[in-house]
Amino acid sequence: MNQNYRDLKIYGQGSTSGGKFKNVIIKGSGQIKGDMECNNLKIYGDGQFDGNLKVEDNINIKGKTEFNGEIKAKKFKIQGEVQVKGEIFADDTSITGNITTDNDFNAETFTSEGGFTINGLLNADQIKINIYWPCKVHEIGCSEIKVKKDVKMSFLGLKDMIKPVCSNKILTADIIEGDLIYLENTNAKIVRGNNVTIGTGCKIELVEYKESFKKDEKSIVDKNNKI
């Protein structure tokens, strides 16, 4: 993007009709009423985007933001609460907050230590999910996925673990499909892959695999088929 575009800074409360900018910063409450393009976007308060958004480099959200259109970005970092109605395209996604989407989520790498509800397809090459909060997705398509339930240490660094931040730390999915699959604390109807490992805390209705299948003895798999 042309570096001669001006920055857009909203401090307090403000709105704009959209357009092309260099860097966009919202500290307070900001509304973008049309399509927007920029190099970088940072939100520390409340944001509302009524059009499509294209970001050449980074989106960093530490507040509460609603996107009513499509999102395209190189990096998408979510530390706050996000709602998205349109489709998402991001090379690198990192979630420590929470996101809810009505459409598909496309990424090269997808890393989550937060919560998410994806009501479409999560399509990524590499997926790593450490479950601290409930996570839900309609369908996952990937090259490699690793889902683990993590327990946070106390701030004193003692051996005793603190209580989980949420008692229902589960990934729920209708379909999970990939080449290399490792799952913990996952409820799914269908898991399909080349090499599939079902770790602890899983309930799977059907596993279909091409090369290998392993299952923790305490997990439940109703049926498994080599295809």
Rounded CA-CA distance 21/36 in Å is 8
Alpha helices in the chain (DSSP H): none
pTM recorded for the entire structure: 0.90
For residues 34 and 51, is the Cβ–Cβ distance under 8 A?
yes
For the chain, the 3-state helix, strand and coil shares in percent, each to the nearest 5, are 0, 70, 30
Rounded CA-CA distance 207/191 in Å is 5
C-alpha distances in Å from residue 130, one per residue of 23, 55, 112, 174: 31, 27, 6, 19
For residues 52 and 70, is the Cβ–Cβ distance under 8 A?
yes
Nearest by Cα to 206 from 217, 185, 227, 218: 227
End-to-end CA distance of the chain: 48
Per-residue pLDDT for the chain (227 aa), expressed as one digit of tens each? 556 789 999 999 999 999 999 999 999 999 999 999 999 999 999 999 999 999 999 999 999 999 999 999 999 999 999 999 999 999 999 999 999 999 999 999 999 999 999 999 999 999 999 998 899 999 999 999 999 987 654 334 433 434 444 557 899 999 999 999 999 999 999 999 999 999 999 999 999 999 999 999 999 999 999 99
SS (H, E, C) 70-117: CEEEEEEEECCEEEECCCEEEEEEEECCEEEECCCEEEEEEEECCEEE
